[in-house]
Amino acid sequence: MARKAYRERRIAAQDGLMLYYRDYGDPNAGETPVLCLGGLTRNSKDAHTVALRLSQRRRVLCPDYRGRGKSARDPNPANYSAEIYGSDAIQVLDAANVHKVVVIGTSLGGLLGMALAVIRPAALAGVIMNDIGPDIPKAGASRIAGYIGTAEVFDDWPSAAAALRTRHAKAYPDTGEDFWLTLARDTYAQSDDGKIVTDYDVSLAKSFASGAGIPPLWPMFGALSNIPVLAIRGALSDVLTAETFDRMAREKPDLVRVTIANRGHVPLLDEPEAAAAIDDFPTGL
């Protein structure tokens, strides 16, 4: 049997809930470790390609948020909040004995990168924000809210891939069947009866709809003023607008920005422009 490219770790959060994360690369690698924080309903599988590349020279930690993937579901949906996610992320760093990281934060993960700049700024060597900013348009939030509260069940992987293609085709217009099948396997899980099912706790939609635990975001972005930041935007994104992207640059003049063509919410980070920007950031670390 081939050896996995990562180690599987499980730890208890401060409230006792069991959290899962993938641990890639050499723990004693000389370059600053990376913490990959995913989107609202996503899990550690999304970061696999990026983690494989970066783990050649860095340690890479990829957690499943509570209620996603292999982390336990929380019996109290109110705990699906930005404050708790931030606490869980710190718990992962402490368990891994990692004191300083570059955060690669996709969507929700980018907001958590900003939150870490408030609650533990000394832990951040840099933040890479993937298609997220301090303003979230109602249209983009409404689109996401329209599907996250529904538990889906499919008979097979092609059916799951077709559903994703219907939902997200505008975000990935230049992709084919193989892409959608891979995305399906990264999005869903196979249950014991062979069905393909939602791989997160759909009750997190309640917290998302209420905006639970989300403070004003521009002041949080301001906490990154002395931290290197790379901002990546999908040119077709309905979550990070061009106007917000421009304001971010005005608020933080040293912000490094990259726009990825033919991508909506979110870029996959394996696009050549995104990969090159990530590999070069932050310089000297």
Question: pLDDT for 195-211, tens place per residue?
Answer: 999 999 999 988 777 66
The residues near 169 (Cβ < 8 Å, ≥ 6 apart) are: none
Query: Measured between alpha carbons, how far is 266 from 130 in angstroms, rounded to an integer?
Result: 7
Smallest Cα–Cα separation from 127: which of 219, 221, 23, 43?
221
- Supply the CATH classification number for the domain 6-137+203-279: 3.40.50.1820
pLDDT in tens, 235-249: 999 999 999 999 999
pLDDT in tens, 42-74: 999 999 999 999 999 999 999 999 999 999 999
pLDDT in tens, 92-132: 999 999 999 999 999 999 999 999 999 999 999 999 999 99
Each domain of the chain, given as residue ranges in start order, spans 6-137+203-279, 151-201
Helices 108-119 & 82-95 angle (0-180, nearest 10): 70
The per-residue pLDDT of the chain, averaged, comes to 93
> Between vectors from CA 131 to CA 130 and to CA 136, what angle results, nearest 5°?
135
Query: Measured between alpha carbons, how far is 91 from 119 in angstroms, rounded to an integer?
Result: 13
Q: How many CB atoms lie within 10 A of CB 4?
A: 9
Question: With the CA atoms of 71, 73, 75 and 80 taken in that order, what torsion angle do they form, in degrees rounded to the nearest 10?
Answer: 80
Query: Measured between alpha carbons, how far is 116 from 37 in angstroms, rounded to an integer?
Result: 12
Element (H, E) at 161: helix 157-168
